[in-house]
Amino acid sequence: MADKINLAEKLDGFADHWAPRIVARYNDHEVRLVKVEGEFIWHHHDDTDELFLILEGELDMEFRDRTVTLSPGELIVVPKGTEHRPCARNGEVQLLLIDPKDMPNTGDPATATVAVEI
């Protein structure tokens, strides 16, 4: 049975940064919420694109040749194999991510923060 998910309530349930939380699953994908602040590491994903939807705050998505600034209600899809670095330089940013099941957030399971279900 399908139930609604209140994103604001889920976001209120955690405070740590760069630690994705799984709030829903569909097919072989996970809908994840994450709070970020500061700069993440440069990384890429060999086998999948990555979708970032900004819920609150302003995010800079850095690429080696440019920076794209995203505001609430905007999204970006980073193509597979593209090196990138998300940065939240103006305070906390709240994001919704749609990722393939078990995808490591750094592109490398050895360095990734494992997404947990809430």
112 has pLDDT over 70: no
113 pLDDT tier (thresholds 50, 70, 90): low
According to the model, what pLDDT value does residue 99 have? Answer: 87
Assigned domain for 42 exists: yes
Domain, as residue range, for 85: 33-117
Assigned domain for 5 exists: no
According to the model, what pLDDT value does residue 96 have? Answer: 97
Q: Which residue in 105, 64, 104 sits closest to 83, CA to CA?
A: 64
Assigned domain for 81 exists: yes
Assigned domain for 72 exists: yes
5 has pLDDT over 70: yes
Q: Rounded to 10 degrees, what is the CA torsion of 81, 44, 91, 77?
A: 30
Assigned domain for 105 exists: yes
Residue 93's CATH number? 2.60.120.10
Question: What's the pTM?
Answer: 0.88
117 has pLDDT over 80: no
Residue 78 identity: V
108 has pLDDT over 70: no
Assigned domain for 24 exists: no
Assigned domain for 98 exists: yes
Q: What is the pLDDT of residues 46-92, one digit of tens each?
A: 888 999 999 999 999 999 999 999 999 999 999 999 999 999 999 99
Assigned domain for 61 exists: yes
Residue 36: burial class (beta carbons within 10 Å; 0-12, 13-18, 19+) = buried
Report the domain count for the chain. 1
